Structure 1
Amino acid sequence: MTDMLLEVKDLELGLVHDESNLIVRQASFDLRPGEVLGLVGESGSGKTMLGRSIIGLQPGAITPRGGDIVFRGRSILKMSARNLRRLRGSEIGMVFQEPMTSLNPSMTIGRQLEEPLRQHTRLDTARRRARILDIMERVGIPEPGDRLDDYPHEFSGGMRQRIMLASAMLLKPALLIADEPTTALDALVQRDVLELMIELTRQEGTALILISHDLPMIARYCERLLVMRDGEIVESGRADDLLAAPQHDYTRRLLQAMPERGPVRSFDDSTTPVVELRGLEVEYRSRTGFLARTSRKKALHGIDLRIRRGEVVALVGASGSGKTTLGRAVAGLIPASGGDILFRGLPIGKHDANWMDYRLNCQMIFQDPFGSLDPRFTIRRLLAEALYYQRNLDSAERDDRIRAAVREVGLEDAHLDRLPHELSGGQRQRIAIARAVIGRPDFVIADEAVSALDVTVRAQILELLSELQRQHGFSCLFITHDLSVVEQLADRVVVMRDGAIIEEGPRDTVFDRPQSGYTRALLAAIPKLERTATGAVLNWRFGANDPLREGAQ
């Protein structure tokens, strides 16, 4: 007998039809009951495959090539499919990155939460309902009894992730695996979900494997870290010790890729702003009820904002604050219901003479490049399409501009004849940036352009954006929930809440001396990793301590 809950011994995962290609190589680690283990690394490092293999959920094209996974003294790799199904949920739970792909959109939340109780317990209907309501209340779903008949799309992103956590913890598993559980969530919701997860696992004595590329988050919640690269565990140890003095070059490079505060730039307030918003409002209308009555909801309440030439303005706020709606309204993708948008001092509208000039000079970079790039078009055609209205360029000049744009974003001419799916996530985002700036616009809107990227790729994209912005001089509205990115990139910060601007000012002023309690809460929600001579140390803004760790002492 052993006191180890989980033992991974020299595990190797490879492709079914290619024995020479290993996804995971000689991975070994163990986990005790109640322990919190962090698994970090870049995209493609093998961390998700390693986590999924523990519960037997790796893709069918990937198979174990060697080693073993022992859970409570039983080999998972030797289990039958029937025993694996019994193990999943009841003894090992999993929380996935995107709850909308894990929750069934055609089933109510109540039915989806009841399903594991039907499969793994003998509770009657009344006791199943009582267990479901209890876990929903514990994860912070308001009025749980009234929400059982709601569908996943009727919940916010943070609430859906809470429902996924409730589903995973419903059967009180001995081990919970969380794969990038908060990547798309804002600072406050991310903190709430993670602290809820830690609290539940501590109450039940559940061990936790937290998979992420977010180093500050991993440093805060995990007792031990594993660092993966190219399918190998290159370094492991206690979280504080490993970060304070990493031994492997790769770990040091990950820490070096963390965003740092950039230099302060000054701008002339007397010049005409590139883009100015005056009392901008957006109102959504929907028909509801038996008589199809029209209901109205304001998403933006009288927004006033000036963006100067060459300035980077960061727009931050919680999910639902209206920041994406503001960006899309400024880009002309959704109609404004009131107020004015001025470009170079002149009002613009779809019937104004300067509308086409504004649309050519206002470009947008979306969060998901795979969704914004036509999968049927080659990179060459995607970039050529962005030059369609550049009438002053002949065919040869267009080709030169396309090749120059690809090289500007760090790619090669060979990438021009590839399709989007043939590029990595970072390469696709580079193409999305190239497509936005190839026409030399005066104004670029970047909506969560780096939120889904890992540490080193994010650092490369941020440096690329900064270099292109310095080179071409365009103004930028940078919409994000990642405050560390804001600290590196922005000249000015605008904080939104409930469709209104509640604070605005120079980056250093807002970050160091916030006037709004909400802004202060946003900044204090996420810890910082500050670089030292040998590594990094976990710190908190405004001298705050970590209440989670204090409570555990």
Structure 2
Amino acid sequence: MSESIGPTTRHASSAGSRPLLELRDLDTDIALRRGTVHALDGVSLEVAPGQTLGIVGESGSGKTMTALSIMGLLPSGGRVAGGQILFEGRDLRSLPPDEVRRIRGVRMGMVFQDPLTSLNPTMRIGAQVAEPLRVHERVGRAEARERAVEILRRVGMPRPERIVDSYPHELSGGMRQRVAIAMALVCSPSLLIADEPTTALDVTTQRQILELIDDLREEFGMAVILVTHDLGVIAGRADRVAVMYAGRVVETAATEQLFHAPRHRYTEALMQALPESAIRENGGHDRLNSIPGLPPDLSGPLTGCRFAPRCSYVGDDCRTTDPSLIPGAHQHACLHPVPAPTGAVTGPVPARTEPAATPVTAAPELAAAPVLSVRNLVKNYPAHGGGLLRRSAGQVSAVADVSFEVRPGETFGLVGESGCGKSTVGRLSVGLEQPSAGQIVLDGTDLTDLTGRERRRMHRQVQLMFQDSYAAMNPRMRVDAILAEPLEIQKVGDGAARQARIATLLDQVGLSRRALERYPHEFSGGQLQRIGLARSLALRPRLIVGDEPVSALDVSIQAQVLNLMRDLQRELGLAYIFISHDLSVVDYMADRIGVMYLGKLVEIGPARDVVRAARHPYTQALVDAVPSITPSSAAAGDGMTIRGELPSALDPPTGCRFRTRCPRAAQICTTEPPLVGGLHQVACHLPLRAEPSGTATQTQAAV
């Protein structure tokens, strides 16, 4: 996973430059009905021209609130209560409102996390990109459109002359994010703030967007503040890093120094919660180091170190003494810090020595009969044109001839970009949709042949765990009713038996009985995923399909949920289909991995082989695009990079569907490659490597 930090920082040092932006003891409060939340408490940061500052931390740490305070975009009830925001030497808090508005509109730009919600769905793209020019620079309509086309071209937008007349819903996620970047850059700002700009994107699109921001920083000479919870993104892109927790900066240093030798225990815990930190070189897995508990409530008084209730190294002094940042090149606010290295540090972050990590060994019953067999699965959706008549416009090929098996106790990972068909396979596997062709055999029974009551009875054996548990729950139902619902629908037991089953479920997922009386909106994201997992376990299934079950969670909460899923797998003998676009998470969870592209399964094999010895160029591109906090020669791969947008499933390319984006494509790729090989199969005429056994495949012989 080649987006890692190397022996030197990525960008030129700006240590001798005067700060473009400087925050001094910034305090921000949010007034609510129940009191005032002290969102920021004494935050001091600076960024120089041409420099990238990364701000990282869990949700609620204050990183986004810092960005919104700088831009003057605080939510209702929010105000900067103290401190200074110095931009180009002037305190924005002391300037007239009109002047501040112009500075923030012209000299600063911001890219938000979700471009779809930050773009106006009723306005064409060109009008939205040109709007800052017309408001702040009084540019005429024709000139504004011309400059909008030019900036869209500079951010890599294909066919910008046509895109300016499109609406946001007509663009892909990556294209919408490019529009958001164009809007932020159209007035040539000196500072660009990117708030989680790639969180909702696939790793390949994420890499393109991050490289775009990096290139534009160099081209425009901008300073960049990159706000994210993804430590790998920060490690690969920033010059300096600020780690925030509970409204404060707890550690800040040059990127290489911080990632190779963190000092604050919170920073260390974040790094050790990453799946890549638990994957051993021999392919085995250690248990993820999760951070217990939740960040503190910032609406009340706090005593001592704010991280103390969650810290494994807490002392009595931590509960009474509030530590301050120690001055210097590497600042941290920790009374019992990670020991400083005695010499030059060239390896990854040292593993925590206490408590000791518990080895995790996967033991799927490879000789047992499959729980699920998917055979030649096809799913096509009818496409209709616009207008009142809604004439047929062909078919969308969502899943095309996909076959795989899942055995008892096994985790089968399914990865690929958005639109590849992996979630459709998940919905078909649990019977939420009917396939156009093929078989789905569950415990020897073909689900496609069943109807009515027989199908409902088989649904007990396979359940779905949703990406967004909150959206999948009825907000008007309490947790006790949510967990009882599948038992009532399937007529399992009487009232007393159901209550006993619910109590067991809460124990299994680590929730207290008090949770039963609460509603979904009263829980955190990690708690909601535990409730979602409990509901999927209610009927004692043999297989659970997890559709992006941890993609929306912070790294610490993600570790808790992943540990829980593996514990329950060993305890109950569960099989999982784990669907995700995050290859590092799938690498940690899965025994075998299937890689999908545009409805096709292009590679399938043992997780270690697929990730560390990928045979398909698309798989290698996914591996190389995953950000990492540690250098790894094993992950360097072939440096595969793919460009462009995913082709339309309405009219997929002939032959190999990946050939239009593949850097290795040749004439032979115009014919469709079969999926061939032994344990490690690939559908590619020009595979990157021979099969691990060294046996030539049929395809290689043909080439």
Q: TM-score range by the shorter chain?
A: over 0.9
30, 34, 37: which is aligned to 1:15? 30
CA distance in 2 between counterparts of 1:403 and 1:106 reads 49
1:12-54 deviation per Cα after TM superposition (whole angstroms, max 9, x unaligned) = 1123367764111111011111110000111111111111111
CA distance in 2 between counterparts of 1:276 and 1:129 reads 54
Secondary structure in 2 matching 1:88: helix
State the partner residue of 2:636: 542
Letter of the aligned partner of 1:501 in structure 2? Answer: L
Do the aligned residues in 2 keep the contact of 1:56 with 1:84 (CA within 8 Å)? no
Quick check: 354-363 or 27-36, which moved more? 354-363
425, 434, 459: which is aligned to 1:326? 425
Alignment of 1:273-284 (within 5 A): 273-284=370-381
Secondary structure in 1 matching 2:511: coil
State the partner residue of 1:30: 46
State the partner residue of 1:550: none
- Tell me whether 1:150 sits opposite 2:248 in the alignment: no
248, 273, 281: which is aligned to 1:232? 248
Give the Å deviation of 1:173. Answer: 0.9
TM-score by length of 2: 0.74
1:312-346 deviation per Cα after TM superposition (whole angstroms, max 9, x unaligned) = 11100112111112112222223321111111121
State the partner residue of 2:512: 412
Give the Å deviation of 1:362. Answer: 1.8
Letter of the aligned partner of 2:515 in structure 1? Answer: H
Larger C-alpha radius of gyration, 1 or 2? 2
State the partner residue of 2:543: 443
Provide the aligned length of Structure 1 versus Structure 2: 540
State the partner residue of 1:6: 21
CA distance in 2 between counterparts of 1:546 and 1:5 reads 36
Instruction: Calculate percent identity across the aligned residue pairs.
Output: 42
Give the Å deviation of 1:268. Answer: 4.5
Quick check: 420-429 or 70-79, which moved more? 70-79
452, 456, 459: which is aligned to 2:552? 452
Indicate how the Cα distance of structure 1 residues 477 and 543 shifts in structure 2: closer, same or farther if over 3 A, else same: closer
Give the Å deviation of 1:541. Answer: 1.1
Alignment of 1:289-328 (within 5 A): 292-295=390-393, 296-328=395-427
Indicate how the Cα distance of structure 1 residues 539 and 254 shifts in structure 2: closer, same or farther if over 3 A, else same: farther
State the partner residue of 1:249: 265
RMSD of aligned C-alpha atoms?
Answer: 2.1
CA distance in 2 between counterparts of 1:306 and 1:87 reads 59
Indicate how the Cα distance of structure 1 residues 34 and 506 shifts in structure 2: closer, same or farther if over 3 A, else same: same
Letter of the aligned partner of 1:367 in structure 2? Answer: Q
Alignment of 1:94-113 (within 5 A): 94-113=110-129
144, 164, 182: which is aligned to 1:166? 182
Indicate how the Cα distance of structure 1 residues 538 and 119 shifts in structure 2: closer, same or farther if over 3 A, else same: farther
State the partner residue of 1:202: 218
Give the Å deviation of 1:293. Answer: 2.4
Quick check: 227-236 or 407-416, which moved more? 407-416
Indicate how the Cα distance of structure 1 residues 546 and 280 shifts in structure 2: closer, same or farther if over 3 A, else same: closer
CA distance in 1 between counterparts of 2:54 and 2:443 reads 49
Q: List runs of 5+ in structure 2 lacking aligned partners.
A: 1-16, 280-284, 286-359, 642-703
More helix by share: 1
Alignment of 1:112-131 (within 5 A): 112-131=128-147
Indicate how the Cα distance of structure 1 residues 79 and 469 shifts in structure 2: closer, same or farther if over 3 A, else same: farther
Q: List runs of 5+ in structure 1 lacking aligned partners.
A: 531-536, 548-553
State the partner residue of 2:347: none
CA distance in 2 between counterparts of 1:46 and 1:221 reads 21
Do the aligned residues in 1 keep the contact of 2:365 with 2:410 (CA within 8 Å)? no
More strand by share: 1
State the partner residue of 1:534: none
TM-score by length of 1: 0.93
CA distance in 2 between counterparts of 1:60 and 1:78 reads 21
CA distance in 1 between counterparts of 2:218 and 2:188 reads 11
Letter of the aligned partner of 1:274 in structure 2? Answer: V
CA distance in 1 between counterparts of 2:416 and 2:135 reads 41
Do the aligned residues in 2 keep the contact of 1:529 with 1:539 (CA within 8 Å)? no
State the partner residue of 2:462: 362
Quick check: 112-121 or 256-265, which moved more? 256-265
Give the Å deviation of 1:284. Answer: 1.3
Indicate how the Cα distance of structure 1 residues 446 and 81 shifts in structure 2: closer, same or farther if over 3 A, else same: farther
